[in-house]
Amino acid sequence: MASAASNIPGPARHDSQGIPMHAPGRRLTTATNPHKDIHPVPEKSHVGPDIEAYKAAHSDTVGPHSDAWWAQQARDNLTWIKDFSIVRTGGFPSAEELKEDNPNPPSTLPITWFPDGALNACYNCVDRHAFKNPDLTAIIYEADEPGEHQYITYGMLLNEVCRVANVLKDMGVKKGDTVTIYLPMTWQAAAAFLACARIGAIHSAVFAGFSAESLRDRILDCGSTVLITADEGRRGGRSVATKVIADQALKECGDANPVKHVLVLSRTGSKTVAEQHFTPGRDVWWHEAVSNVPSYCPPEVMNSEDGLFILYTSGSTGKPKGILHTTGGYLLGALLTVKYVFDVHPGDKFACMADIGWITGHTYIIYGPLSLGTTTTFFESTPATVFVSVLYLTIFFLSSMAYFNHYTRSISYPTKRYWETVSKHGLTQFYSSPTAVRLLRKLGHQHVQDHDLSSLRVLGSVGEPINPEAWNWFNEHVGKGECAIVDTFWQTETGSIIVTPLPGAIETKPGSATVPFFGIETEIVDSMSGKTLEGDNIEGVLCIKKPWPSIARTIWGDHKRFVDTYLRPYPGYYFTGDGAGRDEHGYIWIKGRVDDVINVSGHRMSTAEVESALLLHNGVAETAVIGTSDEMTGQAVNAFVTMKPEFSYDSAIEPALIKELVLQVRKIIGPFAAPKRIFIVTDLPKTRSGKIIRRILRKIVAGEGDQLGDLSSVAEPEIVDVIKQKVADSMSA
Ligand code: WTA
């Protein structure tokens, strides 16, 4: 294969800041695709050929046209059991409406889309495609074990979904009930989600990397009577004790445990789980249960506004929020963004490398691609395991043979899983995260170059800002300069992508998510005055002017918190919580969270959540958690901790204590939340009223301890120097 680098067409032009602007994807037409015989590509992208075409199309989807446009899209793309006569109700409340004494507060004026329409999400994702083309591959399941994969057709998926739906019904699950799903990345997770949707149950999927405590809290919050889980998960050559964690979570629910039945998928066939962690009467094996029920289950007639799923996400307080998405609007947003943002056409093989436990997995592994009737991918493995293992190894210092075995197994584990998967299946879209791209870049492009990646047309990035170095590497070494790169901005709450380039139409600039999606009206608002900022080259917070169909409807059991978090800060708008700028081309640049949310490798967590986990340690008196920028993971968790006076502690035990505290966070939240650094200090910088000043801690860790400015608000300023010294010592150790 010719050297990739020599063939890369350079960026077409630069903007006035000297930022390169890249063509919107050269592989989008048959004329420019050198591999048209092997991988058929569309004659033409859905939108294009340039930004003028986008602008014309976008203006027909916003302002006075927006409801009519969404209604047309809903009728053209979804199958309705009963057509709707009302398109939308509700909007973002004004300052007047938000007043405490308003007799009709916003909670009585909910946002609804297509409220008198009826449909079934599962029917839209499975049946209608299975009837037309039962042999079309719905799911490519690339197992963790290298070389093992499975193609699941729409016909097979319909069968499995119906059987699981019947099992759930037999377990007493009814329309409106919640079902918790704690599953690894096996394809059956799609059947579990869709079986719930089929019978009108609201699923609450919990990322399989969450701890027993996190799972417990989520089960208790939504009161599920059924839990769907697996014996074990597989990731990067390792087994994860999924069922053991699930059992622990249920035990910890105590008397309040609402779960009556546990459906257990046998992923690894673990003997230990079968013999020691299986509770007869409560636990049922998936394979046994599905073989004992009929192979068809009629889909339930659902109102467009009936709940589809709850997904817990972090906010700026310790308690995770159960974000509720409803049926018609969510599905429409998922479908349309897959179609336009990834320029999907018949015959495509779409791959989103996220986990089904996060919103990206919900929308871009399951609901979006399947509602569109395309082929989606379940990638169970990790992009590269060596790095993770070496880290793991460093933490545990080869302390036992078990770890040694783990090390030897993982070190030989391939670093090319992504690229093997792309070339083996001829994937056409590849949606990943900046952290994964940075990791792969670090490992070197030699891992990419031996694979035929010519089937790819669109490369996507999500979850955190992508730095230009990573963007350029993705473009050059994976896309060979010919793919459209889409840096997509969205959130658990937005349900689907809201700011993004559109292949074929939008020239891209590395690091910018570019323009609003169809039907989305973004505004950059001044964070202090709440006024909309006009013109270009401005910076503020990112807000949306009008509801779109896939916006979350509420926080489960706490609508006031929904209004207070998203609608009250800037009346008349939805507030994303992200800072953003707009440049001379009207392109949007996301600057990151402006609240107490940390984003580590695209995983959202609140500083308060990590602080609560640390405070559960019996020696900890106070803690302050901050996010700092990190070359690999985007942001990293740093914690400052003071110990209780009665906790006997000296510097000799500090390394052991820090290890204990890290384990504490892993145990309470999950391994992904583990602090990168913990500083044990004697006090924290506070205002006179006792509020911790995190700004000072952030600056010190960022190496800007000499730019702290005015410290007159600090109650005991001497502590600042002590902390500076402590941080300097720890960083150099
Ligand atoms: C961040 C993930 C910059 C942002 C889909 C947002 C991004 C949070 C981007 C939502 C992007 C997501 N560029 N930042 N392209 N995409 N974010 O709910 O801070 O897990 O508010 O949803 O991720 O995270 P969540």
Answer for the pair 242, 230: CB distance below 8 angstroms, yes or no: yes
Which residue CA neighbors atom 24 of ligand 1 most closely? 491
CB of residue 566 inside a 6 A radius of ligand 1? no
Percentage of residues of the chain with pLDDT beyond 90: 78
- CA 497 – ligand 1 centroid, Å: 10
CB of residue 357 inside a 6 A radius of ligand 1? no
The structure tokens listed for 311 are: 């997904």
Local confidence band at 7 (pLDDT 50, 70, 90 cut-offs): low
Local confidence band at 651 (pLDDT 50, 70, 90 cut-offs): confident
Name the more confident of 3 and 74: 74
Nearest to 117 by CA among 271, 331, 346: 331
Which residue CA neighbors atom 6 of ligand 1 most closely? 491
Q: Give residue 691's pLDDT.
A: 85
HEC letters along 262-300? EEEECCCCCHHHHHHCCCECCEEEHHHHHHCCCCCCCCC
Nearest to 111 by CA among 495, 490, 554: 554
Q: How is 659-724 classified by DSSP, letter by letter?
A: HHHHHHHHHHT-GGG--SEEEE-S---B-TTS-B-HHHHHHHHTT-TT-----TT-SSTHHHHHHH
CB of residue 511 inside a 6 A radius of ligand 1? no
- CA 597 – ligand 1 centroid, Å: 11
DSSP annotation of 349 reads B
CB of residue 465 inside a 6 A radius of ligand 1? yes
- Give the chain's mean pLDDT: 90
The structure tokens listed for 100 are: 């405490």
- CA 467 – ligand 1 centroid, Å: 14
CB of residue 491 inside a 6 A radius of ligand 1? yes
Q: What is the pLDDT of residues 370-407, one digit of tens each?
A: 999 999 999 999 886 544 433 333 333 322 323 333 33
DSSP annotation of 49 reads S
Which residue CA neighbors atom 5 of ligand 1 most closely? 491
pLDDT at 125 over 60: yes
Local confidence band at 471 (pLDDT 50, 70, 90 cut-offs): very high
Q: Give residue 392's pLDDT.
A: 37
pLDDT at 329 over 50: yes
Local confidence band at 654 (pLDDT 50, 70, 90 cut-offs): very high
CA distances from 404 to 411, 413, 659 (A): 11, 14, 20
CB of residue 327 inside a 6 A radius of ligand 1? no
Name the more confident of 259 and 319: 259
- 313 CA closest ligand 1 atom index: 18
Q: Give residue 413's pLDDT.
A: 46
Orientation angle between helical segments 188-199 and 154-170, nearest 10 degrees: 60
CB of residue 490 inside a 6 A radius of ligand 1? yes
Nearest to 24 by CA among 54, 2, 3, 4: 54
Q: Give residue 559's pLDDT.
A: 93
pLDDT at 314 over 90: no
Q: Give residue 596's pLDDT.
A: 86
- CA 85 – ligand 1 centroid, Å: 34
- 513 CA closest ligand 1 atom index: 15
Residue type, 179: V
* Residue among 462, 593, 605 to mutate when testing ligand 1 (max atoms within 8 A of CB): 462
Nearest to 591 by CA among 495, 512, 523: 512
CA distances from 204 to 100, 241, 378 (A): 32, 20, 19
Q: Give residue 9's pLDDT.
A: 60
pLDDT at 38 over 60: no
Confidence (pTM): 0.91
- 576 CA closest ligand 1 atom index: 21
Answer for the pair 202, 352: CB distance below 8 angstroms, yes or no: no
CA distances from 339 to 47, 332, 511, 517 (A): 10, 11, 23, 12
CA distances from 250 to 220, 257, 276, 313, 617 (A): 9, 6, 16, 21, 22
The structure tokens listed for 686 are: 């506070």
CB of residue 635 inside a 6 A radius of ligand 1? no
CB of residue 225 inside a 6 A radius of ligand 1? no
pLDDT at 90 over 90: yes
- CA 490 – ligand 1 centroid, Å: 5
Residue type, 34: P
CB of residue 587 inside a 6 A radius of ligand 1? no
pLDDT at 97 over 60: yes
Q: What residues form DSSP beta bridges with 431? A: 352, 460
CB of residue 360 inside a 6 A radius of ligand 1? yes
Q: Give residue 8's pLDDT.
A: 59
Name the more confident of 396 and 500: 500
* Residue among 464, 487, 605 to mutate when testing ligand 1 (max atoms within 8 A of CB): 464
Number of Cβ within 10 Å of residue 241's Cβ equals 16
Name the more confident of 184 and 730: 184
Q: What is the dihedral of CA 366, 369, 375, 380, to 10 degrees?
A: -30
Nearest to 418 by CA among 443, 393, 389: 443
Which residue CA neighbors atom 22 of ligand 1 most closely? 491
Instruction: Name the least confident of 52-61, 354-363, 371-380, 412-421.
Output: 412-421
Which residue CA neighbors atom 13 of ligand 1 most closely? 465
Mean pLDDT, to the nearest integer, of 12-30? Answer: 81
As a whole number of angstroms, the distance between CA 379 and CA 353 comes to 6
* Residue among 588, 604, 672 to mutate when testing ligand 1 (max atoms within 8 A of CB): 604
- CA 465 – ligand 1 centroid, Å: 8
Q: Give residue 404's pLDDT.
A: 30
Q: What is the dihedral of CA 344, 350, 356, 361, to 10 degrees?
A: -30
CB of residue 487 inside a 6 A radius of ligand 1? yes
Instruction: Name the least confident of 105-114, 141-150, 524-533, 547-556.
Output: 105-114
As a whole number of angstroms, the distance between CA 94 and CA 112 comes to 17
Q: Give residue 380's pLDDT.
A: 97
- CA 603 – ligand 1 centroid, Å: 9
Which residue CA neighbors atom 11 of ligand 1 most closely? 489
pLDDT at 37 over 50: no
Whether omega for the bond prior to residue 655 falls within 30 degrees of 0, making it cis, is: no
Mean pLDDT, to the nearest integer, of 296-325? Answer: 92
As a whole number of angstroms, the distance between CA 202 and CA 306 comes to 9
As a whole number of angstroms, the distance between CA 480 and CA 703 comes to 37
CB of residue 488 inside a 6 A radius of ligand 1? yes
- 358 CA closest ligand 1 atom index: 20
As a whole number of angstroms, the distance between CA 420 and CA 435 comes to 19
Mean pLDDT, to the nearest integer, of 582-604? Answer: 92
- CA 463 – ligand 1 centroid, Å: 4
CB of residue 435 inside a 6 A radius of ligand 1? no
pLDDT at 509 over 80: yes
CB of residue 513 inside a 6 A radius of ligand 1? yes
Q: Across 82-173, where does the E strand assignment appear?
A: 88-89, 112-113, 118-119, 137-142, 149-153
- 360 CA closest ligand 1 atom index: 5
Q: Give residue 10's pLDDT.
A: 64
- CA 266 – ligand 1 centroid, Å: 33
Mean pLDDT, to the nearest integer, of 480-501? Answer: 97
- CA 590 – ligand 1 centroid, Å: 9
Residue type, 317: T
- 604 CA closest ligand 1 atom index: 20
CB of residue 512 inside a 6 A radius of ligand 1? no
